[in-house]
Amino acid sequence: MLNLKFIQDNPELVVEKLNRKNFDASEIVGQIIDLYRQKNKLQNQADEAKAEMNKISKEIGQLFREGKTEEANTAKERTSQLKENIRKVDEQFGGIETRVNELLVQLPNLPHESVPEGKGEEDNEVVTSKGELPKMADDVLPHWELAQKYNLIDFELGVKLTGAGFPVYRGKGSQLQRALINFFLDEARKAGYEEVQPPLVVNEASGFGTGQLPDKEGQMYHITGDNLYLIPTAEVPVTNIYRDVILDAKNLPYKNTAYSACFRREAGSYGKDVRGLNRLHQFDKVEVVQIAHPDKSYEVLDEMVKHVASLVEKLELPYRVLRLCGGDISFTAALTYDFEVYSAAQKKWLEVSSVSNFESFQANRLKLRFREEGVRKPQLAHTLNGSALALPRIVAALLENNQTPEGIKIPKVLVPYCGFERID
């Protein structure tokens, strides 16, 4: 959530910056400014009423002592009227605060100055590209056919048990999944991240804290009976560990990693581009989260990007890194880098990670602060997270890029985790 004082002090700048996200904030910002003008006017009325009431209260006792009972009673009636006026002002205050908060949660985070302009993914900027694209025969199979051929993933059984987008992994397919999860967690631990195992459902406060709620796109599964939500990513529970907390600045950054299943409704996702593992309602992912000092958060972002790059390189996959444009960056992010790996059979790039700096946007919602030594007032921290990595499209690329007439080769780094060198 944007800082209210910043909006009040810089309304034109907020509107200008959010235009880069293709979001017209002029009406909302205008309403917020008008509401706070009303609040300031009411505050002046309340202050004047309280000052008059304090003055009269001091006079009442003196009037009674002087025997001026009628004047004293008139003064008491006036204080009662002033109290009622103050009560009505407080009610109006509450209404204004509620309306301001309703408006504030509609405003996206401000994009970082390096975010390129653009309307959609076609305008994202490629900043890095590494690895040679595999040269494959014309008859290579897409991963959904390889999964069937080697009995790795049963998509039809998933439809029977639950519905489309909930695959069942079997045999070496299950082992490959587990191998990737353990590899990603071990690499995160080596990089200094503390592993946590969070719940897969969260309450409304947690969803609001990281910006998933209000859910404008209908992406979250809602457990209506208990008013809980299935997590779309481990970012939500892990970041919320620090909700309503004041951290010690000398311990920043805080680093956590977590494996979890993730659940996304992905409403309206149909067609050939979402076949197989390309888009699922349930999938596995290892997440990395950092809580950083505002002065260091972009150094931390670079560190996290390097960490994700190291994972993809160890898996021997060609990849590229994109800086997302204003029209493609998320509601909550200030700057995001997407990682894509190349799919040999589908002949396209598949997104496998997003690494983002949210600056103080989530922290403001979470009331996540830190205190510097010798500084009385706590400051908002910066939050960052990244997929390290999401499994479905990694598995798709590994299967497609490593297929041979003898079977599917396993990258060397995964062999100790899998216990086999080839799927045949």
CATH of the domain at 277: 3.30.930.10
Bridge partners, residue 131, by sequence: none
Residue 272 has a pLDDT of 52
Same domain, 293 and 367: yes
The structure tokens 């489309």 sit at 164
| Structural domain total, the chain | 2
Bridge partners, residue 257, by sequence: 195, 288
Residue 90 has a pLDDT of 83
Residue 413 has a pLDDT of 98
Residue 197 has a pLDDT of 98
Residue 271 has a pLDDT of 53
Assess if residue 113 is contained within a domain. Answer: no
Same domain, 92 and 227: no
Q: Which positions make up the binding site for ATP?
A: 264-266, 351-354
What is the three-class DSSP state of 182? helix
Q: Which residues in the chain come in under a pLDDT of 50?
A: none
Assess if residue 54 is contained within a domain. Answer: yes
Same domain, 227 and 265: yes
d(C-alpha 183, C-alpha 78), whole Å: 74
Within 8 A by CB and 6+ apart from 375, the residues are none
Same domain, 64 and 133: no
What is the three-class DSSP state of 3? coil
Same domain, 419 and 309: yes
Residue 177 has a pLDDT of 98
Same domain, 127 and 83: no
Same domain, 173 and 296: yes
Assess if residue 109 is contained within a domain. Answer: no
Strands 379-380 and 382-390, sheet pairing: unpaired
d(C-alpha 263, C-alpha 265), whole Å: 7
Residue 380 has a pLDDT of 98
Same domain, 66 and 143: no
Residue 50 has a pLDDT of 83
d(C-alpha 264, C-alpha 135), whole Å: 34
Same domain, 82 and 150: no
Same domain, 29 and 175: no
d(C-alpha 179, C-alpha 274), whole Å: 24
Range of the domain at 78: 4-104
Q: What is each CA distance from 77 to 7, 45, 120, 266, 409, in whole angstroms?
A: 42, 19, 65, 62, 89
d(C-alpha 134, C-alpha 119), whole Å: 31
d(C-alpha 152, C-alpha 30), whole Å: 56
d(C-alpha 181, C-alpha 261), whole Å: 11
Assess if residue 355 is contained within a domain. Answer: yes
Q: Which positions make up the binding site?
A: 233, 264-266, 287, 351-354, 385
Within 8 A by CB and 6+ apart from 207, the residues are 213, 215, 220, 229, 236
Residue 267 has a pLDDT of 53
Residue 64 has a pLDDT of 77
Assess if residue 403 is contained within a domain. Answer: yes
Residue 135 has a pLDDT of 87
Same domain, 100 and 129: no
Residue 129, classified by CB atoms within 10 Å of its CB into exposed (0-12), middle (13-18) or buried (19+), is: middle
Q: Which positions make up the binding site for L-serine?
A: 233, 264, 287, 385
Same domain, 126 and 224: yes
